[in-house]
Chain A
Amino acid sequence: AQKVTQAQTEISVVEKEDVTLDCVYETRDTTYYLFWYKQPPSGELVFLIRRNSFDEQNEISGRYSWNFQKSTSSFNFTITASQVVDSAVYFCALSEADFGNEKLTFGTGTRLTIIP
């Protein structure tokens, strides 16, 4: 069974600080996909990144970076020099590459508040 754990329920940081959101996953498949989504106060989920289990290279996109470590089953997300607009709920999700079982399993989310 697949499972995603986001142990941090809520995080608050002062603007311009760096912040890391943790994500730990469980799966029995060797091929799987990991995702991060942002849900701002408006409510609509925004896709941030998808990572293939065979690609452990870290990725950077502007102020966002992701650290994927299969050894610890973690896919952490760091925001550098945080801004007020980063305030949102962030969800980590997992999909197994299994035809017939293609659902996306989400963690419970981390509510990030950036204090101006």
Chain B
Amino acid sequence: GAGVSQSPSNKVTEKGKDVELRCDPISGHTALYWYRQSLGQGLEFLIYFQGNSAPDKSGLPSDRFSAERTGGSVSTLTIQRTQQEDSAVYLCASSRLRFGSEGYTFGSGTRLTVV
């Protein structure tokens, strides 16, 4: 597609349930990032994929969070046993070149609400 696509756009879940968030990067983009933006806050890095290299998971806040990227394309961020503090907008970004030579393109995000 023309841009980074994220689904669902909104997700309301009950505390303790698992959720999966999906990101479809721009075709041909080798780098893929997940960020989290809490209400009125900046962007918090979660995880980074670059080609076939091992992902940089240094930003994942707890072991309830995991992500995978299949075939170097689509990525899924999974949050297990959701907590209220997980409520945020989860943003995905992709880049064709390393170090954002052409900038990073962000999706519209998934707004997660844990009730």
Contacts and interface: CB of A to CB of B under 8 A. Distances in A.
A14 interface: no
A44 B48 CA distance: 19
A106 B100 CA distance: 14
Contacts of A81: none
Interface size class of B (residues with CB under 8 A): 20 to 34
Nearest to B56: A103
B43 interface: yes
Interface string B46-67: 0010100000101100000000
A108 B33 contact: no
B31 interface: yes
A104 B104 contact: yes
Given A44-B108, A44-B109, A93-B43, 14 more contacts: A33-B99, A35-B104, A45-B106, A47-B103, A97-B99, A102-B31, A102-B48, A102-B99, A103-B59, A104-B33, A104-B93, A106-B35, A106-B42, A108-B41
Interface of A: 33, 35, 37, 43-45, 47, 50, 91, 93, 95, 97, 99-109
Interface of B: 31, 33, 35, 41-43, 45, 48, 50, 56, 58-59, 89, 91, 93, 98-109
